[in-house]
Amino acid sequence: MPDVDSGAVVAAGLSMPHSPRWHDGRLWVLQSGSGTLVVVDVATGTVETVAEVPGFARGLAFAGRYALIGLSKVREHVFDGLPLTRDRSEPLQCGVWVVDTETGATVAHLAFEGLVQEIFEITLLHGLRHPELVEPGAPLADSAFVIP
């Protein structure tokens, strides 16, 4: 993962890094290929695993000490051989996992079943309740999901 300004490598050996975020004075990164949330020490390049999640991690947001992580089921024919897909006794999940960044424990999750199999990004819309993504009656609304 390179530094944007200098192009210098900040950390090496990551498995499909995704969603780098600065939070609480540290660089947080998802390793999609291993299903982990890590902290990168930008001075040394060392990587510390904070938590493991049961899916292909893409999308990261923070609410205080909690990390909200988007998870997808991987298309195994495309991503076969990743650490995430090897030696798994549990099936991969799709949804949003909430991890306590101080303990690494999963404190909540919202799992999607059925048609939803991929999450691409997570964001928090502070101060909003019931935001609209599309206008009622729009063709896209026919396939939207509403969660009470």
40 pLDDT band, cuts 50/70/90, is very high
**How high does pLDDT run on average in the chain?**
87
Cβ burial of 74 (10 Å; 0-12, 13-18, 19+) is buried
Q: What local confidence, expressed as pLDDT, does residue 121 receive?
A: 92
Is the per-residue pLDDT at 22 higher than 90? Answer: yes
Domain 17-125 matching CATH 2.40.128.630: the answer reads: yes
**Distance (Å, rounded) from C-alpha 110 to C-alpha 113?**
10
Is the per-residue pLDDT at 86 higher than 80? Answer: no
**Cα atoms found within 13 Å of the Cα of residue 42, Cβ hemisphere only:** 14
pLDDT, tens only, 44-85: 999 999 999 999 999 999 999 999 999 998 766 666 667 777
DSSP-derived secondary structure letter, 79? H
pTM of the model: 0.82
Q: What local confidence, expressed as pLDDT, does residue 71 receive?
A: 95
10 pLDDT band, cuts 50/70/90, is confident
Q: List all residues 6 or more positions away from 22 whose beta carbon is below 8 Å from its beta carbon.
A: 28
